[in-house]
Chains A and B, each alone.
Chain A
Amino acid sequence: MSSEVSFDTIVGHTHPKAVLTAAIVSGRIAHAYLFHGESHIGKSMTATAFAKAALCAHLQTGQVSGRPTLASCDQCSSCHAVDSRSHPDLHLIQPDGAQIKIGQIRELQNAIAFKPMIGSRKWFLIDEADAMNPEAANSFLKTLEEPPDHSTLILITARPQALLPTVLSRCQSVRFSPPPPNELSQWLQKRRGIAIHEAQDLATLAMGKIGIAAEADPAALKNERDRILDALSREHLEDPSELFNEPEELASSQGQLYKTLDTIEIWLRDVLISRHVSEPSLLINQDIPDRISAWGRAVPTDHVLETLTLIHLLKRASPRNLNHALVLETVLLKLRDAVVRESAPGPKQN
């Protein structure tokens, strides 16, 4: 992972950056933040840049079109320590395996009881905060309720609905959205040294997820997306053996399941756009407009909306003890109803 982070190098997130800059400039940094939004779009990097700027010894403030801007100096020992991940006042908590366990929260509670070492404030970044198991979350609540002075907790999550309401209500919420496609593709062009159209394709395939676009192989991404879209094709949905085979692979793990559901969701979104807006530039799957409109023609809007609701519902469900394949089957069966009902009569009536 590249080490140097700062507000300047973060793509998109204009609103979060403005909120956080204002907090530093006014000296009113909240004791707890909730950074939420899709995965892999730069929440954790923004959190690190926020802490780095606040800890920097020679913070440079400026103004661009009336708005304050901030830049960490990248020279002082504090900035160096943040970049090398060895700052004693910046702590990062990540899931240990699939969960954040109570032992990790206890360690945090021990560390937070001390005064900051070289900075003016202690920072605790809790990545994938929704992965806290119930014991950890309940124990953490105590800290969130009475945080010691000079400390800021940043909870980072793609699934805020999975957190306890008591946790949510104690954090200042900052919403993150995927960076605008043109900003992302410009950044990718520079970062990966590729042509602009390649960068645009990559941005499309990664669905605006900068963390994925920065590293992934475009061919592999395309392959993966196409495999999921193939499963939605009429032939696949009509053939029961295919229909029940796919979920085994496309939902082999929890991460894979969510990826698949995301792809289906975006596909259905594109279908609605192509039918009702007819503005191709709004499509996310920019490269296959014909396929979108062809598929969409066979499926009534009501069914698309119903399926989207179902996906939302499933995503909100607790990820624990979930049969991943079964979840995907439910979605595919729903789509099958939609696609097959509208078509010519089934084999029996023939």
Chain B
Amino acid sequence: MKLKISRGELLTGFQRVQGVVEKRNTMPILSNILLEAKGDQVVLFATDLEIGIRGTYKAEVSQPGGVTVSARKLYEIVRELPEGTVTITSADNHAVGIEAGKSEFRVMGLPPQEFPTMPTVESEPLMSVDRKILSELIRKTVFAAGDNNARYILNGLLVTLFMKEKKQAIRFVGTDGHRLAVIERLLGDGKGKGFSAEQTAIVPKKAAMEIKKFLDENEETPEIGVSKNQMIFRRGSLLLLARLMEGSYPNYQQVIPKENDKRVVVKRAELEGALRRVSILSREKTSAVKLALEPDSITLSSSNPEVGEAKETLEAKFGQEGLTTGFNARYFLDILAAMDSEEVVLEFKDALSPCLVRQPGDPDYLCVIMPMRV
């Protein structure tokens, strides 16, 4: 294999796969990236067996072929190279040569046949979705999904495609058992073929985060689709395949409170600031903050017998008799950071019931946060 490629193009390609390159070494070859040169392009592919990312980049190929080599090392090399053209060659013993300007590198590689393949996806129907909507769906739910939850299914997002008022709609749900985020959005303008039946898939959190990274890269419209075992994301020549998770997602509808009749509207930025300040002196492990709701104010307080205590009062029209409850401030802050309205609505029932958080005028996005005894 021999090819010439611009450093910028190569760097983009390597950057895109760094997130999935395996750090644990269950299968050493997974820390490699696969390069395949043919025609006037080079295909870069990396996978951790959960997510696969394949991108095509413009290159001047003088000898087609393929090789796999450490993704980390290649990325580090290319990052340090000056702007210009990079020449990549591979020898019969799968050693990869990189030349740029006056620098020369030789990195040991492995034969491309040993690299795990991802199933092909040509036949799966894809549909284009609004980039901003998809990004919003992920941003507003991904924080609530578990990170390393022993119930592995909670480390994924439940994605449902369904028909809503005869229009295509999509719903994302994330929860880790302590908080929950549910969002529904209409897809596009409602044209195109509808879905015959409701379709659900559980997408790993890591894949959702990678997709979000791609969405924020540029303005191009992406396409998504779900096959039996995986989710497909495509934008131009960039393809991401994510293996879906298996198992039954908990019945999240059950934990959405229906009778939270005590409602208060607060300025999002004010609440966020106050929570940040007060949580400095809360117990580190739990970040417990007490919320005392009065007819015209909310008082946030925290206390840690070993360190001290903090208190801050916000103006807010609660209009009902007092209620004192407690929450993990970090969970609250995550929700407030995901919302983008100026004000947020908090709905309570009593001291030991979950709190519902919404954006005014957006009935299709809601978050639930479980209370703590403070």
Ranked nearest first, the 9 interchain pairs of A and B with the lowest CB-CB distance are A113-B152, A115-B229, A148-B246, A114-B243, A88-B49, A115-B244, A148-B247, A115-B246, A113-B245
Partner of B246, one of A107, A109, A150: A150
B264 → chain A closest CB, angstroms: 39
**Chain B residues whose C-beta falls within 8 Å of the C-beta of A116 in the assembled complex:** 229
A297 → chain B closest CB, angstroms: 57
**Chain A residues whose C-beta falls within 8 Å of the C-beta of B116 in the assembled complex:** 81, 86, 88
Q: Mark A132-157, 1 if CB is under 8 A from B, else 0.
A: 00000000000000001111000000
A78 → chain B closest CB, angstroms: 10
B204 at interface, CB cutoff 8 A: yes
**Chain A residues whose C-beta falls within 8 Å of the C-beta of B245 in the assembled complex:** 113-115
Q: Are B229 and A113 in contact (CB-based, < 8 A)?
A: no
Partner of A149, one of B118, B243, B246: B246
Cα distance A110–B48 in the bound complex, in angstroms: 13
Q: Are A110 and B152 in contact (CB-based, < 8 A)?
A: yes
**Chain B residues whose C-beta falls within 8 Å of the C-beta of A88 in the assembled complex:** 49, 116
A141 → chain B closest CB, angstroms: 13
Q: Which B156-212 residues have a C-beta within 8 angstroms of A? A: 156, 204
B29 at interface, CB cutoff 8 A: yes
Residue of A whose beta carbon sits closest to that of B52: A117
**Chain A residues whose C-beta falls within 8 Å of the C-beta of B80 in the assembled complex:** none
Q: Mark B134-162, 1 if CB is under 8 A from A, else 0.
A: 00000000000000001011011000000
A223 at interface, CB cutoff 8 A: no
In the assembled complex, 9 residue pairs joining A and B whose CB atoms fall closer than 8 Å, in A order, are A86-B116, A114-B245, A114-B246, A115-B230, A117-B118, A117-B230, A117-B243, A148-B246, A149-B247
Known: A110-B152, A113-B245. A118 touches B26 (CB 8 A): no
> Given known contacts A114-B50, A115-B243, what 16 new A-B pairs fall within 8 Å (CB)?
A81-B116, A84-B114, A88-B49, A109-B150, A110-B152, A113-B156, A113-B247, A114-B244, A115-B228, A115-B229, A115-B230, A115-B245, A116-B229, A117-B243, A148-B247, A149-B247
Interface majority SS (helix, strand, loop, mixed), chain B: loop
Residue of A whose beta carbon sits closest to that of B26: A107
Q: Mark B221-252, 1 if CB is under 8 A from A, else 0.
A: 00000001110000000000001111100000
A172 at interface, CB cutoff 8 A: no
Residue of B whose beta carbon sits closest to that of A148: B246
Q: Mark B303-335, 1 if CB is under 8 A from A, else 0.
A: 000000000000000000000000000000000
Cα distance A77–B115 in the bound complex, in angstroms: 12
Count class of interface residues, chain B: 20 to 34
Most B Cβ at <10 Å: residue of A81, A86, A117, A150: A117
Q: Mark A187-202, 1 if CB is under 8 A from B, else 0.
A: 0000000000000000
B128 at interface, CB cutoff 8 A: no
B119 at interface, CB cutoff 8 A: yes
A111 → chain B closest CB, angstroms: 8
**Chain B residues whose C-beta falls within 8 Å of the C-beta of A113 in the assembled complex:** 152-153, 155-156, 245-247
Q: Are A77 and B246 in contact (CB-based, < 8 A)?
A: no
Residue of B whose beta carbon sits closest to that of A150: B246
Cα distance A117–B49 in the bound complex, in angstroms: 8
Q: Are A86 and B114 in contact (CB-based, < 8 A)?
A: yes
**Chain A residues whose C-beta falls within 8 Å of the C-beta of B230 in the assembled complex:** 115, 117
**Chain B residues whose C-beta falls within 8 Å of the C-beta of A150 in the assembled complex:** 246
Task: Give the A-binding residues of B (Cβ under 8 A).
Answer: 24, 26-27, 29, 49-50, 114, 116-119, 150, 152-153, 155-156, 204, 228-230, 243-247
Q: Are A86 and B243 in contact (CB-based, < 8 A)?
A: no
Residue of B whose beta carbon sits closest to that of A116: B229
A55 → chain B closest CB, angstroms: 13
Q: Are B119 and A118 in contact (CB-based, < 8 A)?
A: yes
Residue of B whose beta carbon sits closest to that of A81: B116
Known: A107-B26, A148-B247, A149-B246. A77 touches B229 (CB 8 A): no
Cα distance A176–B298 in the bound complex, in angstroms: 70
**Chain B residues whose C-beta falls within 8 Å of the C-beta of A110 in the assembled complex:** 152
Cα distance A84–B116 in the bound complex, in angstroms: 11
**Chain A residues whose C-beta falls within 8 Å of the C-beta of B228 in the assembled complex:** 115
**Chain B residues whose C-beta falls within 8 Å of the C-beta of A149 in the assembled complex:** 246-247
**Chain B residues whose C-beta falls within 8 Å of the C-beta of A107 in the assembled complex:** 24, 26
Q: Are A114 and B117 in contact (CB-based, < 8 A)?
A: no
**Chain A residues whose C-beta falls within 8 Å of the C-beta of B153 in the assembled complex:** 113
Most B Cβ at <10 Å: residue of A114, A116, A118: A114
**Chain A residues whose C-beta falls within 8 Å of the C-beta of B204 in the assembled complex:** 114
**Chain B residues whose C-beta falls within 8 Å of the C-beta of A114 in the assembled complex:** 50, 204, 243-246
A79 → chain B closest CB, angstroms: 14
B32 → chain A closest CB, angstroms: 12
Q: Are B246 and A117 in contact (CB-based, < 8 A)?
A: no
Residue of B whose beta carbon sits closest to that of A104: B26
B110 → chain A closest CB, angstroms: 11
Cα distance A84–B113 in the bound complex, in angstroms: 10
Cα distance A88–B26 in the bound complex, in angstroms: 11
Cα distance A109–B152 in the bound complex, in angstroms: 8
Cα distance A116–B24 in the bound complex, in angstroms: 20
**Chain A residues whose C-beta falls within 8 Å of the C-beta of B243 in the assembled complex:** 114-115, 117
Residue of A whose beta carbon sits closest to that of B115: A86
**Chain B residues whose C-beta falls within 8 Å of the C-beta of A109 in the assembled complex:** 150, 152
B47 → chain A closest CB, angstroms: 9
A302 → chain B closest CB, angstroms: 54
A134 → chain B closest CB, angstroms: 17
B154 → chain A closest CB, angstroms: 10
